[in-house]
Amino acid sequence: MNIQPSKKMSLFVPAIFGDLKKHAKLQEQKGTELIDLSLGSPDIAPAENLRQKMSELTALSSSYGYTLTGIQTFNEAVCRYYKRVNNVELDPETEVVQTIGSQEGLVHLPVAFCDPGDIVLTTNPAYVAYDAGIHLAGATPYYMPLTKENQYLPDLKAIPEDIRQKAKLLILNLPGNPVPAMPSIAYFEEVVAFAKKYNIIVLHDAAYSEFYFKGDAPISFLATPGAKEVGLEINSLSKSFSLAGTRIAYIVGNAELVAIMKQLKSNLDFGIFEPIQQVAALALDNAEQVTSVLRETFSVRHKTLMEGLTSIGWEVAPSDGGMFVWAKYPYDIPCIDFAYKAIEQTGVVMVPGTVFGTAGEGYMRLALVQPVEQLQEAVKRLSTIKL
């Protein structure tokens, strides 16, 4: 049988994560002790009350039916959370839609709003799911570079007028992955004005909104005056509540846009396992207690890795939040080659910057997913690299 993938599959290049893991495993078999800073998968277990609740609910025979559009308990918890944390009013009936983790929502959202040939404004570098969704919709990405000179924020003023006129969707991620730049109300006000002028839908990915280490929490896009007129915000319980494996997230904002996403979702799945939704609601209602513990831990890790890499000559992008460190290494070697060399010589596993776009050449993304002692050891090992 001659099996051929669709032409569309040529747009989805194999992820390097699997190859890095395979190479790391080979080194481990040779006796190298690995320090894996590649995937942003939380290494801290969910709070005990969340695990206990999950255990109780999964034992109930009534927990195993379809949930379709989601349970009201979860939607109302999202609204309470947004009111407490962001001072944003949301309608649980019309302004909330669940997704099976933010990855699923991010990949499918362009399908709901973009036709083939439509332009989507995205960043370079950017989280890989954005490009996947753009390609799935048959849309065309326009890449806005994230530069040190612009504090790693997309420069809307640099977008050519003809691109602005044709753009359908703008994707932002602040604080971001891989570059953890922080937003300001002034910047979001600029985004709202831009979106209104050119009739562009805004999607803000707020996956790391609870990961802040100085001052106040990152500003919700929806807290910006006029934001609900032009856009949506997607958030996940994966990082902020250590619930990555449960795959639960939500999109909130403009009711008309949410209704379109609900229509798409009704054709894709039959909802999320009810115990997961109930536990997620409990997490949101206790967010201040749950996330403060995680913030304390990740704040120390963040400081350790930032200062450690700087001390050995790496140029680290300034950040006060997020789950990653974005750093330029002091060697003249392509980043993919350097990632493999680092595994071979040190056992430290990192993600090369070009995974996230061409502007990532010369950079590494390091996840804060190991204890402080391991991060200190990683810096010590990286200081010994010989090329």
Query: How would you label 30-39 residue by residue, b for 16+ Cβ within 10 Å and e otherwise?
Result: eebebbbbbe
Give the pLDDT score at 334: 97
Q: For residue 380, what are the contacts with CB-CB under 8 A and spacing of at least 6? A: none
The answer to whether 120 and 99 are in contact (CB under 8 A) is no
pLDDT(336) > 90: yes
- What distance in Å separates the CA atoms of residue 256 and residue 95, rounded to the nearest whole number? 8
Q: What is the pLDDT of residues 112-145, one digit of tens each?
A: 999 999 999 999 999 999 999 999 999 999 999 9
- What distance in Å separates the CA atoms of residue 105 and residue 90, rounded to the nearest whole number? 19
Read off φ and ψ for residue 222, nearest 5 degrees: -70, -15
- What would you report as the CA-atom Rg of the chain, rounded to the nearest whole angstrom? 21
- Provide the greatest CA pair distance for the chain: 61
Confidence of residue 41 (pLDDT cuts 50, 70, 90): confident
pTM of the model: 0.94
Mean of pLDDT values over 238-265:
96
Give the pLDDT score at 127: 94
Residue ranges and CATH numbers for the domains of the chain are 8-46+289-383 (3.90.1150.10), 48-286 (3.40.640.10)
Q: What is the pLDDT of residues 346-360, one digit of tens each?
A: 999 999 999 999 999
Neighbours of 147 (CB within 10 A): 15
Residue in the structure block whose two tokens are 């032009």: 230
Confidence of residue 18 (pLDDT cuts 50, 70, 90): confident
